[in-house]
Structure 1
Amino acid sequence: MAENAAPPAKTEEKRSWADEESDEEKEAAAPPSQAADEAQPSELKKIESLSISDGKDSGERLLDDPDDSEIKAVTSGDTVYTSAVTFEDLKLSDELIKGLYVEMGFSKPSKIQAITLPMILTPPYKDLVAQAHNGSGKTTCFVLGMLSRVDPKRKIPQAICICPTRELAQQNHAVLLKMGKYTGITSMCAIPSDSANYIPINKRPPVTEQVVIGTPGTIKKWTSAKKLSTRDVKILVFDEADHMLAEDGFRDDSERIMKEIQRSSGGCQVLLFSATFDEAVKAFVSRVIKDGNQIFVKKEELTLEKVKQYKVQCPYELSKVEVIKDKIFEFGQKVGQTIIFVRTRNSARMLHQSLTEEGYECTSVQGALKQEDRDQIIKEFKDGLTKVLITTDLLARGFDQRQVNLVINYDLPIKHDNPSEPDCELYLHRVGRTGRFGSKGAVFNFLCTDRDRSVMEKIERHFQHHIPEIPNWRSEEDFESALKDAGLL
């Protein structure tokens, strides 16, 4: 959610369904969208034409290893990058190595880490644009990059990570605390304060922590008030970069922060990570990063085929609730945790109320809740105290929880400005909440109307992936068979 909402404007606005309010809500409208920049064909070609060379001239294990063939990589300049087989190959400090093995429980780099980390950690520390699917280990890449660039002896901000939501910022901060446990590196989370902990900006002491992870609005506010110095920042990370740099995201704040850091610190390394990049963002990236390395996972690798997806024909709206009660709650308890995605805040409230009134245990989180309430609900879910979480697309991006094995698209993701068209990137992010880090997962897509069926067909065509249908929405045997096929029972 945007932190500093602008007053309603007459110009056309880009909004998400999760922004939609019920009749009694009278909140500020989302910021007006900016005019789209025209993508230069040459710039787009630069990114679209990424390829892997045959590598026949070198005996080293380079980025073009056959095992990495689904990842497109292109490097800038003469630097030779050798893929990391072990974390020791990266010449990390003993304290970081200990954090990776003891605290994180890693045994070796994932495929995206093996390719990306040498690009981040090898001088001259070039900028990087990296597209990696959810659950690939991209968070480890930029967190390790930040920790490795910080000088623990200098008590000043040296690394900044910007995230689109406070939840994602808190999650990334938790990873950094865990990974950097033995380093002595200090860090803080720069997110909007709840009412109990609010401190006026003029009374806030200057930031001395070495790593700052936060949301664009808060970080921009702190830098503008001279509370967060950017003079010594060596590395700037954008997580979910497509969301922040798109016209309807945090592009303005993000761009100002990036320019401020580059102007004040000089040779700051910029990393942009995300699961998806649309054409407008690719054009933006190609203008901003002139001499950087680029990694893109091929589109077909983003279909998340390890996650079994199913269609469920529901003849009427209430039958969707019946499926949740009779099938999802029954089987969901056996396979792990479940996230149910709905379109609007009001839908989240109504479904939660309908289930809890009949004694079903579940929680609900959406943007209209107080920040401290959202934090508590998400913490309980992450701690495993609750098994079923109803949410808007507030948690569609970057929410890591290994125990989530079921995702329910109660409402299919559709474009706010054209409800007959699917939001395929959002579908990808939702599906990515399950099957994390190679675990099993299943997704049930509820179809109730002709529009739902049309949208689902377009999603299948977009990803060139056929999604089978549950034969009978009332049949326990059919749902059980689907979950067995997904490897969950």
Structure 2
Amino acid sequence: MAATAADSATPTISAADTTTHLADLKHDAVEEPSSSSKSEEKIASEIEIGNLTINESNNKFFHDPESSNIKTITSGETPYASAFTFEELNLLPELLKGLYVEMKYEKPSKIQAISLPMILNPPYLDLIAQAHNGSGKTACFTLGMLSRIDPKLKAPQAICICPTRELAIQNLEVLRKMGKYSGITSECEIHTGKKQTIRPPITSQIVIGTPGTIGHRIRANKLSLSYLKILVLDEADHMLAEDGFKADSVHIMDKIRCVNPQCQVLFFSATFNVTVKEFAAKIVKGNHNQLFVKKEELSLQSVKQYKVNCPDELAKVMVIKDRILEFGERVGQTIIFVRTRNSAMTLHRTLVEIGYDVTTIQGALKQEDRDKIVKEFKDGLTQVLISTDLLARGFDQDQVNLVINYDLPVKHNHPTEPDCEVYMHRIGRAGRFGRKGAVFNLLCGDADEMIMTKIKTHFGTEIEEVPDWRNEEDFVVALRSAGLL
């Protein structure tokens, strides 16, 4: 891999005989639905990777605040140089084509520039990586998996485990889009709710799924670990937390290590508390690399955070209906986060009764219903989605500009202690990839005020107050300040 200069160097990819720019390419290569049209295939087939040049403006697809400081801790004797262009990573032309044509990337984001050389170069050390929401973490491990596959070997070589089926499906969509021209096979292993039938062993080269289903496939000897090169835990802090999927994750890792001790392990998340961080460092192999961002820098600069003091529950409902959603329809889609399934159902019923059209997702729904609700929201068919923390992590939808915390997140069995990690993931659903966004935290009583104060102190972030929950103009001012009106 070519060595690079300082982080301030200007990236350049050029060919002497071409004037083709990605800015022009974006208008020609249309965003593709699940089934490609012949014209789109023709466009893609005519593009030569060597003839692409990079628009040197800032990469607008990711949120890379200039003040962000990613702390790097490396092990061993391998020197790593940041990659300012994807070409410096010595990627196959088919993967470059996927990055530029399908993903429409221009250059690596900061987390990609730092982490990808660590992932892709021998001795393939394990990595614990934390970075801002919307900074391109998914592309890091997706490209890492695609790059390590031997296309001639028809066997599982990479596994990505996610805490929810929604995130697993989303990651598979990203992987298939990025790897469209590679010929690499992939599949999603999630619980479908259907009766299990006898099935052949998995031959797909990349497998993405949830811990329960992945574990079941391994125990049933349907998912071979013999050729595995890379294991990814997405939302790793939750995957390794006591109240998350720690037992499942450790069991899977132990099975892999018994069969294939050289398998590279990647932990990715926007948050890592001290306990999980220390545990993660213990279970990876001896020499490993780490990337971390200070918690004070995690709050997205493009997302304005507000608190609204409400006298009672009905006032919270009226704020949503008459003060926020009335404007929300003009500025994008909205996700309303609640604490429990009962709260989700109650709020849904209340908003529908007073004439609002909303959809709701929570863990008790049938799998096919959850998939349908997510698809409709992603397709823009619905504007307002009520959700438990099922969609707090990793859920990407570019048009979400508003997040409402109807209930503040608290730690399990500790109703006065905020779950700061979940809060950060929730607000990260707004303003994805550097877009403008706003978060309204609806408070009701002294307990909520205390929780909000603890969140503000934890992150050292600015959370402004909307002076009067009854005053429409106060919300207009807030949305204008957030750049949404």
Q: Tell me which interval the TM-score lies in, with the shorter structure as reference length.
A: 0.7 to 0.9
Take 2:444 and 2:68, find their aligned partners in 1: how far apart are those partners? 40
Corresponding residue for residue 484 of structure 2: 488
Displacement after TM superposition at 1:392 (Å): 0.7
Q: Which amino acid aligns with 1:77?
A: G
Corresponding residue for residue 221 of structure 1: 216
Q: Which amino acid aligns with 2:308?
A: V
Displacement after TM superposition at 1:305 (Å): 3.0
Corresponding residue for residue 339 of structure 2: 343
Q: Which amino acid aligns with 2:271?
A: T
Deviations 1:188-225 (A, max 9, x none): 00100133xx333xx01100000000011111110111
Displacement after TM superposition at 1:357 (Å): 2.3
Contiguous gaps of at least 5 residues in structure 2? 10-64
Displacement after TM superposition at 1:356 (Å): 1.5
Take 1:69 and 1:239, find their aligned partners in 2: how far apart are those partners? 21
Matched-pair contact (CA < 8 Å) for 2:68–2:297: no
Matched-pair contact (CA < 8 Å) for 2:84–2:113: yes
Corresponding residue for residue 272 of structure 2: 277
Matched-pair contact (CA < 8 Å) for 1:142–1:271: yes
Q: Find the partner of 2:428 among 409, 419, 432.
A: 432
Corresponding residue for residue 258 of structure 1: 253
Corresponding residue for residue 111 of structure 2: 112
Matched-pair contact (CA < 8 Å) for 1:63–1:82: no
Deviations 1:154-203 (A, max 9, x none): 110000001111111111011001101000100000100133xx333xx0
Matched-pair contact (CA < 8 Å) for 2:172–2:208: yes
The list of structure 1 runs, each at least 4 consecutive aligned residues, that deviate by more than 6 angstroms after superposition, is 62-69
Contiguous gaps of at least 5 residues in structure 1? 1-58
Displacement after TM superposition at 1:270 (Å): 0.6
Matched-pair contact (CA < 8 Å) for 2:4–2:84: no
Displacement after TM superposition at 1:252 (Å): 1.3
Take 1:253 and 1:448, find their aligned partners in 2: how far apart are those partners? 37
Displacement after TM superposition at 1:304 (Å): 2.0
Corresponding residue for residue 441 of structure 2: 445
Take 1:305 and 1:395, find their aligned partners in 2: how far apart are those partners? 21
Matched-pair contact (CA < 8 Å) for 1:63–1:81: no
Secondary structure of 1:315's partner? Answer: coil
Matches within 5 A, 1:57-456: 60-61=4-5, 70-195=69-194, 198-200=195-197, 203-289=198-284, 290-456=286-452
Matched-pair contact (CA < 8 Å) for 1:239–1:272: yes
Secondary structure of 2:438's partner? Answer: strand
Corresponding residue for residue 57 of structure 2: none
Take 1:216 and 1:68, find their aligned partners in 2: how far apart are those partners? 36
Corresponding pairs, count:
427
When residues 452 and 164 of structure 1 are mapped into structure 2, their CA distance, relative to the original with a 3 A threshold, is: same
Please identify, of 161-170 and 59-68, the stretch whose mean Cα deviation from structure 2 is larger: 59-68
Calculate the aligned-residue CA RMSD, in Å. 1.6
Take 2:6 and 2:159, find their aligned partners in 1: how far apart are those partners? 29
Please identify, of 144-153 and 322-331, the stretch whose mean Cα deviation from structure 2 is larger: 322-331
Deviations 1:2-41 (A, max 9, x none): xxxxxxxxxxxxxxxxxxxxxxxxxxxxxxxxxxxxxxxx
Secondary structure of 1:303's partner? Answer: coil
Matched-pair contact (CA < 8 Å) for 1:131–1:274: yes
Deviations 1:372-419 (A, max 9, x none): 101100110011110100011111111111111000001111122111
Matched-pair contact (CA < 8 Å) for 1:173–1:213: yes
Displacement after TM superposition at 1:250 (Å): 1.1
Take 1:83 and 1:465, find their aligned partners in 2: how far apart are those partners? 29
Corresponding residue for residue 45 of structure 1: none
Q: Which amino acid aligns with 2:248?
A: D
Corresponding residue for residue 34 of structure 2: none
Take 2:226 and 2:442, find their aligned partners in 1: how far apart are those partners? 51
Take 2:6 and 2:165, find their aligned partners in 1: how far apart are those partners? 37
Deviations 1:268-323 (A, max 9, x none): 11100011112221221221122111110122211223210011111111011111
Q: Which amino acid aligns with 1:487?
A: G
When residues 118 and 67 of structure 1 are mapped into structure 2, their CA distance, relative to the original with a 3 A threshold, is: farther
Take 2:81 and 2:462, find their aligned partners in 1: how far apart are those partners? 38
Structure 2 length-normalised TM? 0.86
Take 2:351 and 2:267, find their aligned partners in 1: how far apart are those partners? 40
Structure 1 length-normalised TM? 0.85
Q: Which amino acid aligns with 1:353?
A: R
Matches within 5 A, 1:12-27: none
Please identify, of 413-422 and 205-214, the stretch whose mean Cα deviation from structure 2 is larger: 413-422
Take 1:199 and 1:208, find their aligned partners in 2: how far apart are those partners? 18
Take 2:418 and 2:382, find their aligned partners in 1: how far apart are those partners? 30
Q: Which amino acid aligns with 2:258?
A: R
Matched-pair contact (CA < 8 Å) for 2:344–2:388: yes
Take 1:114 and 1:295, find their aligned partners in 2: how far apart are those partners? 12
Secondary structure of 2:357's partner? Answer: coil
Residue 467 of structure 2 is aligned to residue 471 of structure 1: yes
Secondary structure of 2:465's partner? Answer: coil
Q: Which has the higher contact order (CA 8 A, sep 6+)?
A: 1
Take 1:251 and 1:386, find their aligned partners in 2: how far apart are those partners? 35
Take 1:360 and 1:261, find their aligned partners in 2: how far apart are those partners? 49
Displacement after TM superposition at 1:464 (Å): 1.6
Matched-pair contact (CA < 8 Å) for 1:63–1:73: no
Please identify, of 471-480 and 138-147, the stretch whose mean Cα deviation from structure 2 is larger: 471-480
Please identify, of 413-422 and 232-241, the stretch whose mean Cα deviation from structure 2 is larger: 413-422
Take 1:306 and 1:103, find their aligned partners in 2: how far apart are those partners? 26
Displacement after TM superposition at 1:467 (Å): 1.3
Please identify, of 272-281 and 434-443, the stretch whose mean Cα deviation from structure 2 is larger: 272-281
